[in-house]
Amino acid sequence: MENNDRPQEPLYANVQDAARIYLLPNFFTAGNMFCGFMSLCTCIKAKFATDSLAAANELYMIAVLFIFGACIFDLFDGRVARTFKKTSMFGAEFDSIADTVSFGVAPAFLVYFLIFDPARVGNEFLSGILEKVGPAVGFVYLLCAGIRLAKFNVLTNPLVPGNEKKSPASDFMGISSPIAAAIVASFVVLLTSLDPEGSRDYLPFVLLPVMLVVSIMMVTNIPYPTFKHIDWTTKTKAGAFIVFIVAAILLIISWKIAVPVLLCTYVAYGLVRALVRKFKKTPLSEDSDAIEETF
């Protein structure tokens, strides 16, 4: 009889092996961190811009683009590591630290300085409310992002028994921090583009619930597709292909509207899919067990 209780060989020979730094995947992670850092610097520069409101708004849009750039870098670091089989515990920890900067601190700074800053609101009563509520909302978002990334380090640690059985194409548990940051950034772009004159008294009432909902969705247990199985050889059905083409066309025509719409559709899809599965009482298959990861 086969002994299933036999201890497995360690994944790493020693500490140096686990902490090995592979150049290419960690280059993308460093690019992620750089974009997050530049977004923070640009937000601070915009905060103290004295030339004009338009000049400050232009800097905030640059900060948004840096967040989107961090999302792109984060999209590739894990894929590159898995493709070339150059994963390491160092890479996972480095990725989480970079994500905290780019998808936790940077979006919180962006929204507080641009939307929740009392100095940018003309209404005195609303300004007094935002002075107290703004920092709290920003911290709640940052806290949820930090909790999610800390859980990620545990739930994907290869030294924890059972984690080695999880499929790389498994679902996220809740929305990933890059998706959360992209939602916040895309709503900032959409709302400010709808209000080019700078009268933003109504914007906090939109961004506040968006940030709170996004924060909750990061720490929820609702499974979301990762799309990690998609590559140049992936086959698909006609319906999914049509949806992909329509989404690409929308992004080309008006990305400022298409990005938040597509991201909100993704969030709604996960909720609807979870409700349908619960109603039908169909558990996730073994190949799609939900795990917590980022791109």
For the stretch 184-224, pLDDT in tens is 999 988 887 776 555 456 677 788 888 899 999 999 888 88
Q: Which domain holds residue 161?
A: 21-288
- What is the C-alpha to C-alpha distance for residues 178 and 28, in angstroms, rounded to an integer? 14
Express each pLDDT in 71-114 by its tens digit: 999 988 877 777 767 777 788 888 889 999 999 999 998 888 87
Compute the average pLDDT of residues 1-25: 61
Q: What is the pLDDT of residue 283?
A: 54
CB-CB neighbours of 156 under 10 Å: 17
Structural tokens at position 130: 């935002």
- If one counts the domains in the chain, the total is 1
Residue 199 lies in a domain: yes
Express each pLDDT in 213-242 by its tens digit: 999 999 988 888 877 666 666 677 777 778
Residue 227 lies in a domain: yes
Angle made by CA atoms 224, 264, 248, in degrees to the nearest 5? 95
Residue 12 lies in a domain: no
Q: Locate tokens 């059905």: which residue?
A: 237
Q: What is the pLDDT of residue 26?
A: 86
Question: Residue 294 pLDDT more than 80?
Answer: no
Map residue 126 onto helix, strand or coil. helix
Residue 1 lies in a domain: no
- Of 151, 143, 142, 192, residue with least CA distance to 40: 142
- Of 35, 26, 27, 32, residue with least CA distance to 73: 32
Q: Locate tokens 């609702």: which residue?
A: 222
Angle made by CA atoms 192, 193, 196, in degrees to the nearest 5? 80
Residue 247 lies in a domain: yes
Q: How confident is the model at residue 158 (pLDDT cuts 50, 70, 90)?
A: low
Highest-pLDDT range among 159-173, 178-192, 266-280: 178-192
- What is the C-alpha to C-alpha distance for residues 147 and 137, in angstroms, rounded to an integer? 15
Compute the average pLDDT of residues 159-174: 63
- What is the C-alpha to C-alpha distance for residues 30 and 130, in angstroms, rounded to an integer? 34
Structural tokens at position 30: 């460093």
Q: How confident is the model at residue 287 (pLDDT cuts 50, 70, 90)?
A: very low
- What is the C-alpha to C-alpha distance for residues 44 and 41, in angstroms, rounded to an integer? 5
pTM, two decimals, is 0.81
Q: Answer whether 203's CB lies under 8 Å from 195's CB.
A: yes
Structural tokens at position 135: 């920092």
Residue 47 lies in a domain: yes
Residue 9 lies in a domain: no
Structural tokens at position 138: 């920003």
Q: Count of alpha carbons within 13 Å of 259, Cβ hemisphere only?
A: 20
Q: What is the pLDDT of residue 277?
A: 81
Residue 4 lies in a domain: no
- What is the C-alpha to C-alpha distance for residues 171 and 164, in angstroms, rounded to an integer? 15
CB-CB neighbours of 200 under 10 Å: 21
Alpha carbon 140 to its chain's center: 15
